[in-house]
Structure 1
């Protein structure tokens, strides 16, 4: 991401506009996104396994999944995708985000990388949010797990805002990496 885009984010989140992404910018970004999440009447669970199981069910429980339609611009590995399975507790919310993104940032839907995948988090044994159908990955080639956002990863801040308005956590905005990942948790 170039300095002008970083400055635009800094201006939006209310911090010093200097093009340098450091601790003050990170804090302001997280606070800004958290306020958007809180204003959404955030109903999502915390990230501890007990809360996730109470809310979404056991990891891998496919009986909790529903099929949702995807906007026409959605592609997986270059192939059009019209539907995906997602946990029923967050299905309507995800549909609203994806519909909004189809109007404003269709390019990220052109690089859809999935929702449900019964697997552990990378490098561990704890179930991923994907194993509950409560996370989505978009544009993985330019927003990978180890790519620092916004310096190396290029996920548009407006995409993070769209998810935050529905209460979804943006990994790039809160962890500074894995900007492709969004999850329905607090």
Structure 2
């Protein structure tokens, strides 16, 4: 693989900690960075520079208590996972929480269906681009900004009638716990939409947005392919936000699958 600027920067940080003088921590692998890599005694001198960069990441992750697999200079899934964990720790000063801690049992008090078109239709009815009588527009506990046009503030959203009460319970808890000032600071008031009749990105099946049972928040800082190393909603200060949704049986794709951290839905995943 070709090392990204982020990989290079973290390798440079490691080399700097080892006092090997890699030059600026700028994400650009130049002569000083390569010379510093050559001084890492733990790595074979015969390795090419790109492999040594990966080896440096593996050493750094290993020293910080993560498991990158063998220090072999090869970028596999274990190295990717260890790199994500290392990056998170460097950003936030603590190790990320496990995906599903033992003391946090999945709940489903509202009996949300599994995310297949058949089960979604059985529970929520047929999704329609217009004229869906299952959709309702209702007031929410605090105003939100449209993420795609932040000059517009709204106090109502449109969602499926079966999720209305659940949404209101969550947003009331969010308001009571965080308060409006903190909601704004954390950008929990940047609303990316709910009902939107469309296929899932990169696929042909209908998105859960088509039924009005998924909501997006602050999409610019929690983009579809971003993992917990970049998505702001992965930070510890958002834990209660996610707890409130999960108490209702809602699924965060970020917490479950480490992508699309903007998104929360009233539909369960297969596994």
Q: TM-score, normalised by structure 1?
A: 0.80
Match of 1:99?
172
Larger CA Rg, structure 1 vs 2: 2
Q: For structure 2, which runs of at least 5 residues remain unmatched after alignment?
A: 1-86
Given the alignment of the two structures, is residue 119 of structure 1 paired with residue 179 of structure 2, yes or no?
no
Contact 1:102–1:109 (8 Å) recurs in 2: no
Q: Out of 125, 137, 140, which is 1:70 matched to?
A: 140
Equivalent residue runs for 1:48-67 within 5 Å: 48-60=116-128, 62-67=132-137
Q: How many residues align?
A: 166
Contact 1:139 1:180 (8 Å CA) reproduced: yes
- TM-score, normalising length from structure 2? 0.56
Tell me: higher relative CO, structure 1 or 2? Use CA pairs within 8 A at least 6 residues apart: 1
Runs of 4+ in 1 over 4 A off after TM superposition: 31-34
Q: Which moved more, 1:124-133 or 1:153-162?
A: 153-162
Residue pairs, 1:10-89, within 5 angstroms:
19=95, 21=96, 25=97, 28-31=98-101, 35=105, 37-38=106-107, 40-60=108-128, 62-76=132-146, 77-78=149-150, 79-89=152-162
Check 1:179–1:32 CA distance in 2 against 1; reply closer, same or farther (3 A cut).
farther
Aligned residues of 1:73 and 1:109 also touching (Cα < 8 A) = no
After superposition, the Cα gap between the structure-2 partners of 1:49 and 1:106, relative to the gap in structure 1 and judged at 3 Å, is: same
Give, in angstroms, the shift of residue 184 of structure 1.
0.5
Counterpart contact for 1:70–1:81, Cα < 8 Å = no
After TM superposition, give the deviation of residue 32 of structure 1 in Å: 5.6
Q: How far off its partner does 1:118 sit?
A: 0.5
